[in-house]
Structure 1
């Protein structure tokens, strides 16, 4: 099995998260929320990533960023044996020059404007030059930018943040470009010597100019004559541009993915998020000699589906301009005959679109033999194209060359026909063709599809390219199983409204109360487990010996205080110390009749610094809970995971009975892996080596069969899912620990990462400096129903010690969420109680032991760390 590289392997990671950089990037959250809609977080993140790269002091240029990534990325090192070989793929190394990969229809215009505006607001540059490949795109960008720049809300936010240029002027190069301006211009105007202000406005001023290139794949394309000029302009020493951001939905040079991408939101992710249409592509056809019948049938089927709502469009993609005209004539004749209308009427439904009439005599002659005055017709078609979405426009069919429709924001495309193989035979062309139909019209119910109707006879030849662009993989799905109804249970959530208020952090009283950051979970006995190669998971109980009775622990601390500070010792008699120790242990749900040796040391250290800095006034998002609502497990969304994820970082828990619920084709995917797993478990070394050959020849390549595919007895897989898949090792460890303690629960649910059970929380992206509060949704990982009780344990899994500000905010708001939820359920007479936990692998066995002991108000080490955070956000 050869090593496969994915686009994500080449994305450059920017590892500067210093307070200084975070403060700059974080302070613009309110602005990012204002210019985008809720489901366009990828746009906001693209802008943040670009801004972080532009303002960071860690990297002087792209080469330094690339070098760091090569040293930290094993995939890059495998593909490129030497750093120098890798760097040859970075087109512009000596500037801060990078690319952003956003699938067509996912908000590239927002990203371009947002990066331009924030670079000006931050004072990083004085001017921004936005370059694009055509006049059509220039006009569309200017129109969008003028709307965004004219927003009083946007201007007010940036003024309040002290933006250097909060209200930029949007211009083209027909007039001088001044400080605070954003110039939008098509690349051809840049080369003009007359009528353009490019030289006067930017020559010698590149160090204070940001250049942003839309449809940036044109810059590096070896097939375009104008490309070299575009590239040469960006690197021209007379201009000396210091910053360049390229934005494109097709970041390929032929079939090679760009190597300077700092943020990627690909077609696959956009489809999964519902931001663009789903791709309905052809797998097989019984007959190949169909003419236009299938295409026409598809078009009319879609038209009937959306009748009265919108007018669907079909795009037919040719590889040459003269072919667009030939196909126009051929299709018009077919429609005339099929729909029993005149050729003149049929031809009004079809237009051909081209950038010009070819100079080649033969090709020009073909066009002129079909159309009288082709240049006049071409211009009329371009004018018609601008309103093609409108119902009173008669056009339903568009014949074009793939690259000529960039910047064309039509949303009503529901069928694309790559008419010739040459129009679909590289990743660049495939991405461009798909991009023409991805945008979703307003008011159309999901799911929305665009049908790709290529000739199946050459599908196999482009299959690998096509699947790499779409990142198509074999996928296995799982969801609610009717055969597992006994594991169903109700879930309750709260509806929220949000309100911002100014609050202050509480001032610590001056009574010299010691502060306990965290205590280790303590038990006299603990149920744990070990994993054996033949026996599998074996559970057993261990007894903890190293404990001190609570009275003895109090006396030891009293002696410790006498030795360290006699004055403090007077304020702390043994009885007060014992009450203090007991209260701290009781609050965490720990046994307070004794103190473990580790916790005794922690208590002693806590009697050091006893004062806490007074709080300060901060703006806090107050979340107000209203009504409760019931969520039914039957409405769980179907979840999927890819075949390759099992081999990389995913873990599948399955039972033999659960496998039977899979679709036939999905079971076939897993069957191969499970059979190979049996072979390496039961066979000798020669068998293991034979299996390893199948996966690349290295014995380590088959480790995933044992480690990532985990069989569970069906009676212990107590969930309504027929399978359980998790993406990270801490989640795997938790499920293993749960299996060892499965007798404690009636049922459990691994909740989807989004779209099922969630509630809002707020946090500050930057811990220092000015930063607006950011609001997101929290989706807990696991729900565990206690055995025989209407009590729900809600568990969020993190790595040990992960006290990121987002986790602190999640923990704070989750505590309040479940507290209010319990109160409101009690008021309604609903007899369910929720308990929330943040867990990491260090405390899994302690957690289950506390549940076994009936101590549901127990706290993990991570919860204590998060609980003791000084940050109000």
Structure 2
């Protein structure tokens, strides 16, 4: 009998003890007839164990009130680290002063690794010292960092006492792989600090497991644990949380057998990356001829809203938090700028501190404040950053920076037969997603998916666009059982793909999953910072030996990132075309306003040089 058996499937790379234990279990000389394990987190990453004989799910536990219920962030805009900490702190104080006064509520902050945990712990201690007007030592006594680092090993025994009202600890910082064996019951808020700390079912199950136990003081009641995640993760976290809680069923998309084979092959390239030093020419000095810097109006305190969602019921509610902003004197900001100029002058041999003496800098700052009716001498933290940036545009000598150079190495083929399974949580159909299907979808593929599709067909509460049935299977020229559309532009494009007037000009097509099929890397600059990313184009359409590669966007979705996607992807397919002659690839950015013209050109056989409105706009310098 094995407790915490998920460790057998997810062994840490350096844990020799676990490896030896696994060797012992599998040793033929012992010939164990049965090995039975138990675990609260039966996952390998996102995959549930295949040999579970009994499951009492978190959903059952919540519904039967054995554990706390869960609220998590659905919508929130926190512009700064301090603003986010203020919202987390406000939740903590509300738990402490209003909701759960019988206990000492705890907040756990979870990070992706030890380095991030140490940084967050330092930031939290600084924040608490400022917010509560206490010393850093006093603030540090309220925070317990728990990691596997040697410097923190003495903190683990302290966990057994953190629920005690006499303990000073109110905040726990830890890494994502929280260890078993500590039975903390007073957790009322969990903060996954980065997405990586909360982006798999295993991690979610482990983290929630630390926060769902009900304290003895609230037996018979059902307290709530708040998960303060970043709102941009809410859709993915919602799906993962729902699956962990056994709330959401999922439909899967994958190739199936059809009378006509719509599978086809595509060519992609393996790239070799190398680094190169690039010299950036000197930036021309900015002259403050207008005598001010444009600032936006700011307040010392603003009420900011956060929308929370209740797990299982999906009920949403809004909380308002008063956010205080740090203010600086105009004199302090002017002195900061002057000191930066002096340091730069010493380093580069320039004379900015003479050209912009303290009095001139202060006058520019005060002029800037007066323009937004800020008559006092106090500068909002964000305005301070804007002012520093305004004065930061100064001449520098040629700078050197590292850039990545890519070279095409190997051309290789990938087939749609081998496309990864894609999945859609059924709850998404109640938002904007759709499932396209035909008679093959109801006859072929896994029994669970066929049954689920039949259940959905009987669900009268779904939107009219949620299920899109294709009556003529011969116009649904894709090798998969079902196709998912995540929003209206995709749905409208697919409708045109499967219309009889267009389908007869198409041999086959596939809609890519978001990851793992045909990935293209690109890079762009976000402000002053270089960014790298990758994406799967939305559609591959086969017309004889031509492959039309389509990326769908909203109308007028013009951004530096989309410009980079267009540039790098065109270059990629130009290379693909040069390395083989079996197929010809044409990459198109398309938005709804150009759909009709695109399909007209497709029917006319004149799609090769077609450029949509959005592509033309993205191509502009």
Q: Which residue of 2 aligns with 1:199?
A: none
Following superposition, the deviation at residue 630 of structure 1 comes to 0.6
1:781–1:655: structure 2 CA closer, same or farther, 3 Å change rule? Answer: same
1:109 aligned partner: 114
Residue 62 of structure 1 pairs with residue 124 of structure 2: no
Question: 1:269 is matched with which residue?
Answer: 200
Q: Does the CA contact (< 8 Å) of 2:256 and 2:479 recur in 1?
A: yes
Deviations 1:508-566 (A, max 9, x none): xxxxxxxxxxxxxxxxxxxxxxxxxxxxxxxxxxxxxxxxxxxxxxxxxxxxxxxxxxx
2:617 aligned partner: 865
CA distance in 2 between counterparts of 1:59 and 1:267 reads: 18
- Mapped partners of 1:258, 1:717: distance in 2: 48
Question: Is this contact kept in 1: 2:251–2:423, CA < 8 A?
Answer: yes
Contact 1:504 1:617 in 2 (8 A): yes
* 1:141 correspondence with 2:148: yes
Q: Please tell me whether residue 15 in structure 1 is matched to residue 65 in structure 2.
A: no
Partner of 1:672: 455
With the length of structure 1 as denominator, give the TM-score of the two structures.
0.38
Q: Determine helix, strand or coil for the equivalent of 1:669.
A: helix
CA apart distance, 1:653: 0.1
Change (3 A) 1:855 1:725: closer
User: Secondary structure of 2:200's match?
Assistant: helix
Q: Which has the larger radius of gyration?
A: 1
Distance 1:835 1:118 in 2: 50
- Given the superposition, is the C-alpha separation of residues 654 and 141 from structure 1 closer, same or farther in structure 2, using an over 3 Å criterion? same
User: Which aligned pairs between 1:362-761 and structure 2 lie closer than 5 A?
Assistant: 469-471=244-246, 473-483=248-258, 485-502=260-277, 619-676=402-459, 691=460, 702-704=461-463, 706-712=464-470, 713-740=472-499, 741-761=502-522
Contact (CA 8 Å) 2:141, 2:168: kept in 1 or not?
no
CA distance in 2, matches of 1:747, 1:130: 64
Q: CA deviation at 1:58?
A: 8.1
Q: For each residue in 1:571-592, what CA deviation from the matched residue of structure 2 results, as whole angstroms up to 9, or x when unmatched?
A: xxxxxxxxxxxxxxxxxxxxxx
Distance in 2 (alpha carbons) for counterparts of 1:245 and 1:752: 35
Higher strand share: 2
SS in 1 for 2:517: coil
Per-residue deviation, 1:793: 0.7
Distance across 2 between alignment mates of 1:801 and 1:252 = 53
Question: Hey, what's the Cα distance between the residues in 1 that align with 2:572 and 2:599?
Answer: 23
Distance 1:647 1:616, change over 3 A: same
Given that 1:494 and 1:628 are in contact with CA atoms closer than 8 Å, whether structure 2 keeps it comes out as yes
Aligned partner of residue 866 in structure 1, secondary structure:
helix
Distance 2:161 2:124 in 1: 31
Query: Offset of 1:728 from its aligned partner?
Result: 2.5
**What's the CA shift string for 1:662-720, capped at 9, x where partnerless?**
333322222122134xxxxxxxxxxxxxx5xxxxxxxxxx242x211001121111001
**Residues 409-438 of structure 1: per-residue CA shift (max 9 Å, x gap):** xxxxxxxxxxxxxxxx9999xxxxxxxxxx
Q: Which has the higher helix share?
A: 1
Distance 1:760 1:57, change over 3 A: same
Structure-2 change in CA distance of 1:658 and 1:668 (3 Å): closer
* Separation in structure 2 between the aligned mates of residue 253 and residue 859 of structure 1, nearest angstrom: 60
Structure 2 match to 1:840: 591
Which secondary structure state, in structure 1, belongs to the residue aligned with residue 579 of structure 2? helix
Number of residue pairs matched by the alignment = 394
Partner of 1:586: none
TM-score, normalised with respect to structure 2:
0.52
Give how far 1:500 is off.
3.1
Match of 1:258 among 186, 189, 200: 189
Per-residue Cα deviation, 1:182-217 (whole angstroms, up to 9, x for no partner): xx751767xxxxxxxxxxxxxxxxxxxxxxxxxxxx
Give unmatched runs, 5+ long, in structure 1. 18-51, 68-83, 92-96, 144-170, 173-183, 190-217, 219-223, 236-243, 279-401, 404-424, 429-465, 507-614, 677-690, 692-701
1:301-320 map, 5 Å: none
3-state SS of paired residue (2:582)? coil
Maintained 8 Å contact 1:484/1:719: no
Q: Does 1:227 align with 2:179?
A: no
Distance in 1 (alpha carbons) for counterparts of 2:92 and 2:124: 22
Partners of 1:865 and 1:481 lie apart in 2 by 39
- Classify 1:131/1:721 alpha carbon distance in 2 versus 1 (closer, same or farther; 3 Å): farther
| Partner Cα distance (2:175, 2:451) in 1 | 40
Deviation at 1:775, TM superposition (A): 3.2
Give the Cα–Cα distance (whole angstroms) in 1 for the partners of residues 70 and 194 of structure 2.
9
Where structure 2 has 5 or more consecutive residues not aligned to the other structure, the ranges are 1-61, 131-135, 211-219, 224-240, 282-397
Cα distance in 2, alignment partners of residues 758 and 620 from structure 1: 21
Q: Once the two structures are superposed, what CA deviation does each residue of 1:77-134 show, in whole Å capped at 9, x if it has no partner?
A: xxxxxxx99996699xxxxx975457xxxx443541464689999xx9999969987x
Q: Does 1:850 align with 2:601?
A: yes
Contact 1:716 1:742 in 2 (8 A): yes
* Deviation at residue 768 of structure 1 after TM alignment: 2.4
**Offset at residue 758 of structure 1 (A):** 1.1
SS at match of 1:744: coil
Q: Distance in 2 between matches of 1:847 and 1:619?
A: 40
RMSD: 5.0
Per the alignment, in what secondary structure is the counterpart of residue 227 of structure 1? coil
Tell me if the contact between 2:109 and 2:190 (Cα under 8 Å) persists in the aligned partners: no
Separation of aligned partners in 1, 2:399 and 2:616: 23
